[in-house]
Amino acid sequence: MYDDMVTARRYEERLQEEYLEGKQPSFDISAGPIPGELHLAAGHEASGAGVCAHLRDDDTVTAPHRPHHVAVAKGVDLKRMTAEIFGRETGLCRGKGGHMHLFDPDVNFACSGIIAEGCPPAVGAAMAAKKRNTDAVAVAFLGEGAIDQGGFFESLNLASVHDLPVVFVIEDNDWAISMPKERVTDVENGADRAGGFDLPGVRVDHDDAVAVHEAAGEAVGRARDGNGPTLLEVQVHRRMGHFMGDAEGYRPDADRERAEARDSVERIEADLADYGVDDDELAAIRERAESRVEEAIEWAKEQPEPDPGQAYEDVFTNPVGGAAATDPSAGAAGGDD
């Protein structure tokens, strides 16, 4: 878990540096090696590591627009993920998805920029696992700002009524962009929503990886043993703005300071020291993580850009304008498939 957490933290520190290249001084979002938005998950690491520690490659995970810590913990290929974020041909989605739309079928990981979008596909994966008589499970991660979405309610209901092996993990960082949760959501704790769907709701109040690991162990075990879904909520903290370039004028200083003070990485380091793991061992893990990150970034930057002529390939199953819209060599005919 420590390895996953420091890898994710270091990865995002490096992405941040790369992202800012060429974008300043006026913050041109389309400039630099990583064009477009970038949502960093620094402060969320305990949730990804604590939950994914219980998962296998054949378990499915869906994550939202802030996905890197979950992707790292689920074992998504770091090099191909980085190439995707840099928009390169050898990226997980051939450079067409970007950082919010990573898809790695090798470890059954997907994420989406549409909030709560991961809930229905996770329920579908859980239903498939059940029908195939496997003990695979599915986990949908979502932010506390996504728990008022219809897709979330429908997913909880379907999961409960069919006793599906799925865990919903709410990452509560108190904010949905600039909106504090108390202004938009009727319940203080998202886990309380479970009561309306007859399934267990559990909240981990601190972004404490060990506590998340314990709660997630029960939830994943319950799903794997055929005992149905769980709604798990984890308090995390957003150490950064909503996205890179967010000036955070709406955010009280005290809130930012609290996020900085409650660092889950420092917390697990203290826990590991209490368990008797010495500093050298932790330093070795950090060094390994740093080299892995560096290697992935260097590799990604050397990868080719996609051919613009293939922009629509693999994007639509039934493209508007027919096959000609996806394949310039196909001519005007065809396109009904």
Chain residues in the site for ligand TPP (CB under 6 A): 65-66, 113-115, 143-146, 173, 175-177, 242
> Tokens representing 298?
């260097």
Give the residue at shortest CB distance from Mg ion.
143
Closest CB to ligand TPP among 93 and 111? 111
Of 145, 151, 165, 201, the one binding Mg ion by CB under 5 A: 145
Q: What residue 177 binds from ligand TPP, Mg ion, none (CB within 5 to 8 A, per partner kind)?
A: ligand TPP
User: What is the chain's length?
Assistant: 337
- Helix, strand or coil for residue 199? coil
> Tokens representing 94?
């051939």
Q: Considering only residues 176 through 235, tell me which ones interact with Mg ion, judged by CB under 5 A.
A: 176
Closest CB to ligand TPP among 176 and 265? 176
Q: Considering only residues 232 through 261, tell me which ones interact with Mg ion, judged by CB under 5 A.
A: none
Handedness of CA 66, 57, 10, 78 (dihedral sign): negative
Q: How far is the CB of 219 from ligand TPP (least distance, A)?
A: 20
What is the total count of residues that contact Mg ion (CB under 5 A)? 6
Closest CB to ligand TPP among 59 and 171? 171
Q: Which residues contact 238 (CB under 8 A, 6 or more apart)?
A: 42, 43, 44, 173, 174, 175, 259
Residue 143, interface with Mg ion (CB under 5 A)? yes
DSSP element (H, E) containing 47: helix 45-52
Q: How far is the CB of 173 from Mg ion (least distance, A)?
A: 4
Handedness of CA 158, 52, 187, 173 (dihedral sign): negative
Q: What residue 137 binds from ligand TPP, Mg ion, none (CB within 5 to 8 A, per partner kind)?
A: none
Q: What residue 115 binds from Mg ion, ligand TPP, none (CB within 5 to 8 A, per partner kind)?
A: ligand TPP
Closest CB to ligand TPP among 86 and 175? 175
Q: What residue 33 binds from Mg ion, ligand TPP, none (CB within 5 to 8 A, per partner kind)?
A: none
> Tokens representing 207?
């972004």
Give the residue at shortest CB distance from ligand TPP.
143
Neighbours of 36 (CB within 10 A): 15
Q: How far is the CB of 187 from Mg ion (least distance, A)?
A: 15
Q: How far is the CB of 2 from ligand TPP (least distance, A)?
A: 23
Identify the bridge partners of residue 138 per DSSP, sorted by sequence position: 60, 166
| Separation between Cα atoms, residue 187 and residue 194, nearest integer Å | 11
DSSP element (H, E) containing 125: helix 119-131
| Separation between Cα atoms, residue 238 and residue 172, nearest integer Å | 9
Q: What residue 146 binds from Mg ion, ligand TPP, none (CB within 5 to 8 A, per partner kind)?
A: ligand TPP
Distances (CA, A) of 146 to 29, 119, 168: 25, 10, 12
Residue 75, interface with Mg ion (CB under 5 A)? no
75: nearest Cα among 61, 89, 91: 61
Window of 17-25, 170-178, 300-308, 318-326 that interacts with Mg ion by CB under 5 A = 170-178
Q: How far is the CB of 171 from Mg ion (least distance, A)?
A: 7
